[in-house]
Amino acid sequence: MTENGMQSKQEIVWAALDGFRIEIPSWGFANTGTRFGKFVQNAAATTLDEKFADAGEVNRLTGVSPTIALHVLWDLPNGTADAEKIRSLEKAHGVKAGSINPNLFQSQEYKFGSIANPNPEIRKLALDHLLESVEIGRALGSRDISIWVSDGSNYPGTQSISRRIGWMEEVLGAMHAATNDEQRLLIEYKPFEPAFYHTDIADWGMALHLAQKVGPRARVLVDTGHHYPGTNIEQIVAWLLHVDALGGFHFNDRKYADDDLTLGSIDPYQLFRIFHEILSAPSSATEGVAYMIDQSHNLKGKVEAMVQSVVTAQELFARAALIDRKTLAQLQDECRLIEAEELFRDFFWTDVRPMVRAWRQSRGLPADPLEHLRQSGYVDRIAVARAEKNRNSVSTYA
């Protein structure tokens, strides 16, 4: 504390960073591409062990990513039978299993939908997969099951929009009933792709309705790329906080649509504004809000891009933590527009990097994680070790 009892900027930043955690996705380390094809990188992870190893390296460098999100179909093809293998990898690499992500979009049976499919047998197939995901989460001690539903239709009149709402309520309600008090359902939304006429969970209002309908352990998940251009995402965040329904985030960036670019690469000011809304809300509304990265590194190096994104998230969170919200509220109430905006912008432009570097050093972490990664030779070593497997890779996803 300073002599007058006020916290210094460094104290505020250090306190914020001590409480900041951001999950990283297993699939972010594997070969990915676009809908037209996959671009192979020599250093990409080809096995679950390699994904855990890369996640462990990111956490060792940054100190704020102790969990790795897992994809059921890609990472746990044998369901709960893979739990023992996951626990062994956790011990080996120093990161734990995080959110569990079901797959409701890849099987051929889901051509006309999964939980909103007109065929009750297909809906049962999707429900069984969701129930298995709940069991996996329970076996691994994972709190969150993150649900993205790609269901929808491409042409008017080809599906009943209203009946599909009821089918989704029914399936998600049965899934919610299978969870225990330590688990949550995070319901994601997306305005389009792969469905282009109507998507069954197209915006935050639809996701909020489903969360409220199926039960108290369901929340809304906000993916920053899943919005139309120009959408005020921080306003959505403020509303979800207000009604105590914000479960978490998938952070990425975009220029046009769901580009899945690295966090902060296009519009870092947007993430700063989102963090401001979170830090302005009562702690009762923000407790448990999960931060996770979900982006496609089809051109950038996998591990490097993940470290870059984690570091960017830390810096933007630190900037938002510095905002003098008491003075800002006074300026807002007095409608002193220029002064309020300039105060807000001043904190966005504050260079927090020296304070963040000092925080890392005080916690025994590299001052510059990305440079430390370069100098360590880790990426070069895994590129040599994995090159042949990657050249022979034929799978489209993780």
pLDDT one-digit tens code per residue, 156-188? 999 999 999 999 999 999 999 999 999 999 999
**pLDDT surpasses 90 at 54:** yes
Per-residue model confidence (pLDDT) at position 397 = 45
Q: Which residues pair with 293 in a beta bridge?
A: 251
Per-residue model confidence (pLDDT) at position 1 = 55
Structure tokens at 245: 């329904």
Per-residue model confidence (pLDDT) at position 5 = 52
Within a domain: residue 310? yes
At 124, is the pLDDT very low, low, confident or very high (cuts 50, 70, 90)?
Answer: very high
Within a domain: residue 341? yes
**pLDDT surpasses 90 at 36:** no
Number of domains in the chain: 1
pLDDT one-digit tens code per residue, 84-112? 999 999 999 999 999 999 999 999 999 99
71: DSSP letter = E
Within a domain: residue 4? no
At 394, is the pLDDT very low, low, confident or very high (cuts 50, 70, 90)?
Answer: low
Within a domain: residue 2? no
Domain that residue 387 falls in = 9-391
Nearest to 184 by CA among 290, 261, 269, 105: 290
Within a domain: residue 207? yes
Per-residue model confidence (pLDDT) at position 364 = 98
Per-residue model confidence (pLDDT) at position 296 = 87
Biggest CA–CA distance in the chain, Å, is 70
- Mean predicted confidence (pLDDT) in 216-222: 98
**pLDDT surpasses 50 at 4:** no
- Mean predicted confidence (pLDDT) in 197-213: 98
- Mean predicted confidence (pLDDT) in 243-251: 98
Looking up residue 226, the CATH number of its domain turns out to be 3.20.20.150
Within a domain: residue 253? yes
Within a domain: residue 3? no
Within a domain: residue 398? no
SS3 191: coil
Contact yes or no for 310/62 (Cβ under 8 A): yes
Strands (E) in the chain, as ranges, are: 24-25, 33-34, 37-38, 67-71, 96-101, 144-147, 152-153, 184-188, 198-199, 218-223, 246-251, 290-293
Contact yes or no for 12/322 (Cβ under 8 A): yes
Per-residue model confidence (pLDDT) at position 250 = 98
